[in-house]
């Protein structure tokens, strides 16, 4: 892990063996370089992590509607309260922090985090929000060209155009999504990850994440106060499937927790799957059966695949079941000495009832 502060312009250089990044004194990214692929992610002459404000005055339903004409009111957040400074350096984690003023009532404080051998950069953000009919977003102009961007939905993903050639395309100026959105061309792309935001926009080569709104009806105090959230930027080689973007988004949302243990502790995992395309999404106790677990898995890449579910638990029986946990006596899961063999079609959801 390397970090160096430039005294000339106040910028900071950070590197972890996978990514090399230059951060301007106002917290924007001057450069984000994927080292092994020798590819720059930030578009020429532009800055990533640019906060922008919009006027947000819908015609009818304040808290529900977002009108396309708000895009004509774009205003970058430029006032620096505290320039970028190093918070921690070296070891397993390096980070820098800065503070911006949105208005006389609202501020943004952010810590930009680079972890050792981590393929993405995290932006831990705190916003003091006291606006009225405003919309806060963050932009990443990237060096990628594609007619479509990909957005995660529950148990899958979908694509939306990055152009506005037709009225239908224009109407999709913002797209809802879950933990990640990805813009990729052949053999290179950039993913935008987050832990609690659901509005994205990718127009041409600019990736935008919607952060906060300030509606005044039906609740005049909606969203006022202090907000904490994290998003991340992840340049990658190959497709988002090959680059493990989906797993990285899960890692951001469910970070590792450190616990104390003895030096001779043996690693242990209750479950594992043999294919990277299969996500073990849920493990829960059965509702109406003792000594039983319900597992829910899904195929995340959009492919047909056969995988093996391995477990260290003493499973006596395994059955396919529905969402109400009712097992189908005609569909026992195929158990072998290596585990439970499962076959998936693209985006298929499989629920299993395991009897211990």
Domains of the chain: residue spans and CATH: 2-253 (2.70.98.30), 271-355 (2.60.40.2220)
Give the whole-angstrom CA distance, residue 264 versus residue 183.
44
Give the whole-angstrom CA distance, residue 136 versus residue 223.
12
Give the whole-angstrom CA distance, residue 190 versus residue 32.
11
CB 255 within 8 A of CB 247: no
Give the whole-angstrom CA distance, residue 106 versus residue 110.
13
**DSSP letters for 28-44:** -EEEEEETTTTEE-BPT
Predicted pLDDT of residue 282: 95
CB 272 within 8 A of CB 310: yes
Predicted pLDDT of residue 4: 62
Which residues does residue 80 pair with via DSSP β-bridges, in sequence order? 100
Predicted pLDDT of residue 121: 98
CB 116 within 8 A of CB 146: no
Predicted pLDDT of residue 354: 96
Query: Could you list the pLDDT tens digit for every one of the 356 residues in the chain?
Result: 666 665 578 899 999 999 999 999 999 999 999 999 999 999 999 999 999 999 999 999 999 999 999 999 999 999 999 999 999 988 889 999 999 999 999 999 999 999 999 999 999 999 999 999 999 999 999 999 999 999 999 999 999 999 999 999 999 999 999 999 999 999 999 999 999 999 999 999 999 999 999 999 999 999 999 999 999 999 999 999 999 999 999 999 999 888 888 888 888 899 999 999 999 999 999 998 899 999 999 999 999 999 999 999 999 999 999 989 998 888 899 999 899 999 999 999 999 999 99
pTM score = 0.94
Give the whole-angstrom CA distance, residue 32 versus residue 25.
15
Nearest of 279, 102, 117, 123 to residue 195 by alpha carbon: 123
Predicted pLDDT of residue 257: 86
């Amino acid at each position: 892990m390397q970090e160096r502060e430039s005294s000339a312009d106040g910028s900071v250089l950070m590197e972890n063996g996978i990514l090399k990044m230059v951060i301007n004194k106002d917290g924007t990214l001057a450069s984000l370089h994927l080292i092994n692929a020798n590819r720059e992610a930030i578009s020429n002459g532009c800055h990533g992590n640019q906060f922008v404000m919009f006027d947000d005055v819908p015609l009818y339903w304040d808290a529900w509607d977002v009108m396309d004409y708000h895009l004509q009111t774009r205003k970058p957040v430029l006032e620096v309260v505290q320039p970028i400074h190093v918070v921690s350096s070296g070891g397993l984690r390096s980070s820098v922090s800065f503070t911006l003023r949105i208005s006389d009532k609202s501020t943004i404080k952010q810590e930009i985090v680079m972890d050792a051998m981590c393929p993405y950069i995290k932006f831990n953000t705190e916003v003091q929000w006291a606006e009225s009919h405003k919309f806060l977003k963050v932009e990443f102009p990237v060096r990628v060209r594609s007619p479509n961007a990909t957005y995660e939905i529950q148990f899958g993903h979908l694509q939306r155009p990055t152009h506005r050639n037709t009225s239908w395309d224009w109407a999709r100026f913002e797209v809802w999504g879950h933990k990640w959105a990805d813009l990729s061309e052949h053999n290179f792309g950039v993913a935008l990850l987050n832990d609690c935001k659901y509005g994205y926009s990718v127009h041409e080569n600019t990736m935008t994440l919607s952060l906060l709104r300030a509606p005044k009806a039906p609740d005049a105090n909606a969203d006022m106060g202090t907000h904490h959230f994290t998003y991340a930027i992840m340049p990658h080689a190959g497709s988002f499937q090959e680059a493990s973007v989906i797993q990285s988004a899960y890692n951001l949302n469910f970070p590792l927790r450190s616990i104390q243990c003895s030096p001779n502790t043996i690693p242990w995992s209750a479950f594992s799957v043999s294919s990277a395309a299969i996500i073990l999404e849920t493990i829960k106790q059965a509702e109406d059966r003792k000594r039983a677990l319900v597992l829910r898995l899904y195929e995340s890449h959009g492919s047909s695949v056969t995988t093996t579910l391995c477990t260290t638990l003493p499973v006596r029986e395994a059955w396919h079941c529905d969402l109400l946990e009712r097992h189908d006596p005609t569909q026992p899961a195929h158990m072998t000495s290596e585990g439970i063999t499962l076959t998936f079609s693209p985006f298929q959801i499989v629920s299993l009832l395991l009897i211990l």
